[in-house]
Structure 1
Amino acid sequence: MTRKTADTSKLLQTALQQQQQQDSGGAALTYKRVLEMDPHNRLAWYGLGLIAQQNGKTLDARAAYDKALKIDPSFMSALFSEAMMLKSSDPDRTMELLKRAVVAEPEAATIRMQLGLLLAEKGRTDEAGNEFRRAVAANPSLRSQVPEDFRDSVSPSPTSSQAGSIR
């Protein structure tokens, strides 16, 4: 590990501790120091995005998440955080981000559940049903969160007689 990498890693740990201690201002400054040393550090950009989002600075958060995603297009945390932040204001962008997240992490049940809910809101019931089935297959405890209209079509553990009937 190079000296620069070790310094960057130590600063990232410091920033995370500052965030955990509710010192978002200090954490933001530390993340910026990391970025001065390594402008392509996805974790620092993501951290800045979280802080901006927590402070209600949606545009700054989105810009930071986008920079993290430019560095790593399949960075799950940034995909999910940006998607959830934009859920009510930009559902189409949210669906795009969630679909990218599902490609990056096919077994991510919570992401599939969120995608299913958005698809159901858009009236895309077949796609929504598929996402709900995959979410429940990956995590059966999510079945109770599936909208009632879809609940009969999802089964956490299909019996042999049901297995063939699920489309």
Structure 2
Amino acid sequence: MLAFSGHSLGFVCRHYEEGAALLEEAVQLDPNLAVGWIWRGTNRNRFGQPELAIADLQRAIRLSPRDAFMFLAHGQMAAAHFIAGRYDEAVSWAENSLRLLPHHVTAHRVLVAVLALAGRDEAARRAWITHRQFDPETRLSTLAQRLAIADESALAKFGQGLRIAGMPE
């Protein structure tokens, strides 16, 4: 439960540091809890620490490759590679996440942004059309709330890609 509480504190309540502390405690108490590593990796993305996120997410995938939350691990791997500027890897992980859960909004959002910044304009527009089916109210003005990213440079990078793809202000 600590892992879910830690994620909720960060994502829902925006108490990033307190959430991070609970996530750290969760993986210390149960180092075999895959979802704990997934949420900690998610939190590391939130702070613009993609390499640390990747390490946590890789551990989660090794621990429980068929876990019901693997779509999250793959989606967050996409986000980590996107933040790190590895666009081909980000596309691959986002597509993997969407194979596991076709309506995973985060994976769609990452895919749109990464395709746009990679200069794959037509693919980005198609991905944007699909994304809007699942999140029709999304706007650049609400992006920070939807992503819950504390790192301004990562947030700006998402915004840049999504703007190119056609997300309205």
TM-score norm. by structure 2 comes to 0.60
2:65 is aligned, of 44, 47, 72, to 72
Residue deviations 1:27-75 (CA, integer Å, cap 9, x gap): 423422212xxx3x31122244345556665433311111112323671
Q: 1:128 to 1:56 in 2, by over 3 A?
A: closer
Q: Is the 8 A contact 1:31 1:47 kept in 2?
A: no
How far off is 1:115 after superposition?
0.9
How far off is 1:131 after superposition?
0.9
Q: Is the 8 A contact 1:79 1:97 kept in 2?
A: yes
Distance 2:47 2:110 in 1: 24
1:93 is aligned, of 89, 95, 98, to 89
How far off is 1:79 after superposition?
2.1
Which has the greater radius of gyration?
1
Residue deviations 1:82-134 (CA, integer Å, cap 9, x gap): 32233132222211111111112212344323312221222223322221121
- Residue aligning to 1:59: 51
Percent identity among equivalent residues?
14
- Aligned-partner residue type, residue 90 of structure 2: T
Secondary structure at the counterpart of residue 81 of structure 1: helix
Q: 1:91 to 1:129 in 2, by over 3 A?
A: same
Q: Is the 8 A contact 2:112 2:127 kept in 1?
A: yes
- The answer to whether the aligner puts 1:46 opposite 2:38 as a matched pair is yes
Q: Is the 8 A contact 2:51 2:80 kept in 1?
A: no
Distance 1:131 1:30 in 2: 35
What is the number of equivalent residue pairs in this alignment?
Answer: 134
How far off is 1:25 after superposition?
4.1
How much is the aligned-residue C-alpha RMSD, in angstroms?
A: 3.2
Distance 2:116 2:92 in 1: 15
Q: Is the 8 A contact 1:42 1:69 kept in 2?
A: yes
2:130 is aligned, of 131, 134, 139, to 134
Distance 2:82 2:65 in 1: 22
1:122 is aligned, of 114, 118, 122, to 118
Which residues of structure 1 form unaligned runs of 5+?
1-12, 152-167
Q: Is the 8 A contact 1:95 1:118 kept in 2?
A: yes
TM-score norm. by structure 1 comes to 0.61
Which residues of structure 2 form unaligned runs of 5+?
10-14, 141-161
